[in-house]
Structure formats: structure tokens, C-alpha cells
Amino acid sequence: MARIAGVDLPREKRLQFALPYIYGIGRTKSKEICDIAKVDGMKKVKDLTDADVAELRKAIERLNLRIEGDLRAEIMRNVKRLIDVGTYRGQRHKKSLPVRGQRTHTNARTRKGPRKAINVKRG
């Protein structure tokens, strides 16, 4: 089991598709890391040697990528700063509404959560 940056990579996947399981690494960075480490990206994770895993770790360090906990903490700090300053984006984050201008009249169920019934007495 290859464990990089505190994440167990899926054993049956090819390396360049398994690396994006690490928060902060996407498909493009994954290919770049494989090239720097001189490890075949089409090799399955279960076929990696300990030397390959060590090279991958070194390649990630060489790129100075913020990944996993550091990246999550930085994003949280940025959102908290927006809320503290009182920007429009900060207010939207605070109210759990879409931040980037999407409509909310009919969509945004993921962000707003399940519908809430409104009891209206008619009579």
C-alpha cells in the first residue's frame, strides 16, 4: 500500500490517476510529479517499489506543493478572512449560499441543503 502525504492511494489504479486522491494534486500535477520522479504513470500503485514511493515523495517536496492539511487550513483562513472583513463573498459563505453569482431561485440545492416546508394557513 503506497502511502503519500498521509493518504493511502488505491492499489488497483494507475499511478497518474491515483495521485489526485491527494487533496491539492490534480491530473496535470500528477503527470508532472511522475515525470520528475521518473516513475511510469501507467504503472499500478500495487506494483510500485519502496524506492518509487520515496522518489514520488521527493518530487512532491521539490515542487513545493501545498497539499492536504496545509492547503485545507489555508483555504479555511482565506474564507474566515472574507467573513471577518465583511465582504459580499464573506456574507455568502456565512449564509451557506453560492458565492460566485449563481442563481438561487430554482437551483443551489447542494449549497442550501434540503428544502424546508413553509406552513401557510389559508382561509
**Distance separating alpha carbons of residues 123 and 119, to the nearest angstrom:** 13
What type of residue sits at position 74? E
Does residue 123 carry a pLDDT above 70? Answer: no
Q: Judge contact between 9 and 2, C-beta under 8 A.
A: yes
pLDDT tens digits, residue range 55-100?
A: 999 999 998 888 888 999 999 999 999 999 999 999 999 998 999 9
Average pLDDT over residues 29-34: 93
**Three cell numbers, residue 18:** 491515483
**pLDDT at residue 112, as a whole number:** 87
Q: pTM of whole model > 0.85?
A: no
Mean pLDDT value across residues 93-115:
90
Cβ neighbour number for residue 19 with a 10 Å cutoff: 27
Rounded-to-integer distance, Cα 45 and Cα 33, Å:
14
Query: Average per-residue pLDDT in the chain?
Result: 90
Burial (CB < 10 A; 0-12, 13-18, 19+), residue 22, is: buried
User: How many CB atoms within 10 Å of residue 43?
Assistant: 15
